[in-house]
Amino acid sequence: MKLFHVLKPGAFTIVQDLGRYGYLRYGVPVSGAMDTFSHVTANLLVANHPNDATLEITLLGPELESLAETEIAITGANLSPKINKTNAPMWRTVRIKKGDILSFGTPQNGCRAYLAVRGGINVPEVLGSRSTYTRGGFGGINGRPLRAGDTIYGFNKTESLSVKLEMPRELVPEYPKEYVVRVILGPQAESFTKEGIETFFSSVYTITTESDRMGYRLDGPSIEHVDKADIVSDAILPGAVQVPESGKPIIMMRDAQTTGGYTKIAVVTTPDLSLLAQAKPGNTIKFVKTSLAEARSHLIEFHRKLNTIKTKFLKKP
């Protein structure tokens, strides 16, 4: 089933689901939606499975011609979505008709929007996931962002929803310019001086333009090592905060490589890593120390919130 014809691709629009698990040992990153919360909620608003593929739209969105009548939902960053040049609502089910033009304008807040379509986006699974990993050139649509002229496919025509769903306003996240990020100290905290660790937690860091789905490079006070920044390469996951010789931290994101040779001072909690997907160059970050037990409680609450949204809070507008 043809869903959209791509008139303009946008700055960086890719297909993502919740990620590709079980292949880190082979050097294959997890990938998946940067903002898990917005991705899952978009799917719930069109009665999809949380893992169904969506379009992840970064800053400057695409222009798409609808090739079928269906329901969509747009969540995450407010990139000024429009249908036929009229403002389109976010965080709710929206009906579109064949021939409608979906476009995006000036970014209002956040960095990444998510477009879910009733039934999900149909691209081949690679290693059990439809997520795009552009550095590897696989997943999504031929392992790359959208291009003008592409056709986006869905599955066989799904039954229309009998009701429209809407996210309660009080549950719609806000995206600040200053992010407070909870981290667990380690696993190589002993590689940093006491002053270096104090610098890490007392300073405000700015996200630089050298930031993408692989990692966010930060600018700010240098973090002092005890000896050197290099270690024998070991496992690395999204959320790890590496500190190279420059002393400027790097937060590894969803396309993080599977091993790294820089000391890691801390790891960002999973919910805060999802929120960081909406941060963009020029925004600032303040790190706050948390315990493993607190991080676990935070994660349980994050998943409880998503489950509650699914079972109780989505409602008729």
Co-location of 89 and 198 in the same domain: no
Is 315 a member of any domain?
no
Length of the chain: 317
d(CA 9, CA 13) in angstroms, rounded, equals: 7
Closest listed residue to residue 280, CA positions, set 58, 106, 55: 58
Instruction: Answer yes or no: is 10 within a domain.
Output: yes
According to DSSP, the β-strands at 86-87 and 81-83 are antiparallel
**Residue 311 confidence (pLDDT):** 73
77 domain residue, yes or no: yes
Structural domain range at position 79? 2-168
Q: What is the mean pLDDT of residues 137-166?
A: 90
Q: pLDDT tens for residues 190-214?
A: 999 999 999 999 999 999 999 999 9
Q: Are residues 132 and 39 in the same domain?
A: yes
Out of 168, 203, 228, a domain closes at: 168
Find the mean pLDDT for residues 276-302. 95
* Residues 91 and 184 occupy one common structural domain: no
Q: Are residues 209 and 130 both part of a single domain? A: no
Same domain, yes or no: 161 and 182: no
Closest C-alpha to 224, from 208, 200, 201: 200
Once rounded to an integer, what is the mean pLDDT over residues 285-311? 91
Residue 136, domain member (yes or no): yes
Percent of the chain exceeding pLDDT 90 equals 86
Angle between the 292-308 and 36-45 helix axes, to the nearest 10 degrees? 20
pLDDT in tens, 36-73: 999 999 999 999 999 999 999 999 999 999 999 999 99
Q: From 134, 168, 202, give the residue that closes a domain.
A: 168
Specify the number of domains making up the chain: 2
Q: Which of 145, 168, 191 finishes a domain? A: 168
Q: Indicate whether 71 and 118 sit together in one domain.
A: yes
pLDDT, tens digit, 9 for 90 and up, residues 70-122: 999 999 999 999 999 999 999 999 999 999 999 999 999 999 999 999 999 99
With beta carbons less than 8 A apart as the criterion, state whether 281 and 208 touch. yes
Question: Which DSSP letter does residue 213 get?
Answer: S
Residue 151, C-beta contacts closer than 8 angstroms, at least 6 positions apart: 2, 4, 5, 6, 67
Q: Three-class SS of residue 240?
A: strand
Backbone phi and psi for residue 234, each to the nearest 5 degrees, phi listed first: -135, 180
Token pair 């981290």 is found at 183
Distance (Å, whole) CA 153 – CA 211: 30
Is it the case that residue 314 has pLDDT exceeding 80?
no
Predicted TM-score (pTM) above 0.75: yes
pLDDT above 90 for 139: yes
> Which CATH number goes with the domain that contains 229?
2.40.100.10
- Does residue 158 sit in the same domain as residue 185? no
**Does residue 221 lie within any of the structural domains?**
yes
Domain membership flag for residue 200 = yes
Residues 8 and 144 in one domain: yes
Whether 55 is in a domain gets the answer yes
Same-domain pairing of 84 and 119: yes
pLDDT grade, residue 310 (50/70/90)?
Answer: confident
Residue 269 counted as domain residue: yes
Q: Are 167 and 309 in contact (CB under 8 A)?
A: yes
If pLDDT is split at 50, 70 and 90, which confidence band does 308 have? confident
Segments of 143-279 assigned E as strands: 151-153, 178-185, 204-211, 215-219, 230-235, 240-243, 250-252, 259-268
**pLDDT value, residue 313:** 59
Tens digits of per-residue pLDDT, 270-286?
999 999 999 999 999 99
User: Is 156 a residue whose pLDDT tops 90?
Assistant: no
- Indicate the pLDDT class of residue 307, thresholds 50, 70 and 90: confident
Residue 249, C-beta contacts closer than 8 angstroms, at least 6 positions apart: 200, 205, 218, 220, 223, 241, 242, 243, 265
Return the SS3 of 44.
Answer: helix
- The Cα-based distances of 211 to 105, 249, 251, 273, 279 in angstroms read 22, 12, 9, 14, 10
- Residues 186 and 163 both lie in one domain: no
In a shared domain, residues 56 and 127:
yes
SS3 per-residue string spanning 275-308: HHCCCCCCCEEEEEECCHHHHHHHHHHHHHHHHH
The per-residue pLDDT for range 237-257, each reduced to its tens digit, is 999 999 999 999 999 999 999
Helix/strand/coil percent split, the chain, to 5 = 20, 35, 45
Mean pLDDT, the chain, rounded, equals 94
| Per-residue pLDDT at 273 | 96
Question: Is a pLDDT exceeding 60 seen at residue 316?
Answer: no
Question: Among residues of the chain, what percentage have pLDDT more than 70?
Answer: 98
Same domain, 164 and 183: no
